[in-house]
């Protein structure tokens, strides 16, 4: 048997094109994406802190960028990513403790993660504007 025959007969490893996307799978992928996005958001927080330490002129410049429509949209997305990743982490903690493995619990937790992250993000922004 030649090397080409061996490669042709090897089974394919499972990947996203084989699996049918289900909610828990999508939430796992989004959890990873939000985790990566938090690195970018942390850089934004660091930039804001550096601007605050640099003086009022530079702080006003950064605040103007963050206060623009695009800036607020990015900050809103960062807030959602933070809340979504936190709730996903709590879901994984429950799994690590041995809870929530049956199908109904997995689906409920995935839906609660999505709905909770949206609701908490909106609530945080409402509170933020009310306090402001």
Asked if residue 85 belongs to a known ligand binding site, the reply is yes
SS3 of 34-75: the string is HHHHHHHHHHHHHHHHHHHHHCHHHHHHHHHHHHCHHHHHHH
CA angle 25, 28, 30 (to 5 degrees): 110
Which structure tokens are listed for 94? Answer: 């429950």
Residue numbers belonging to the annotated binding site:
85
Residue numbers belonging to the annotated binding site for heme:
85
């Amino acid at each position: 048997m030649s090397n080409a025959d061996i490669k042709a007969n090897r089974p394919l490893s499972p990947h996203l094109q084989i699996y049918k996307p289900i909610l828990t799978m999508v939430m796992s992928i989004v959890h990873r994406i939000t985790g990566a996005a938090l690195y970018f958001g942390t850089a934004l927080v660091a930039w804001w802190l550096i601007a605050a330490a640099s003086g009022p002129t530079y702080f006003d410049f950064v605040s103007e960028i963050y206060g623009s429509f695009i800036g607020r949209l990015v900050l809103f997305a960062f807030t959602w990513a933070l809340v979504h990743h936190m709730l996903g982490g709590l879901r994984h903690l429950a799994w690590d403790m041995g809870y929530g493995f049956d199908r109904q619990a997995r689906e409920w937790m995935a839906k609660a993660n999505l709905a909770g992250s949206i609701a908490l993000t909106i609530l945080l922004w409402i509170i933020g504007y009310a306090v402001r």
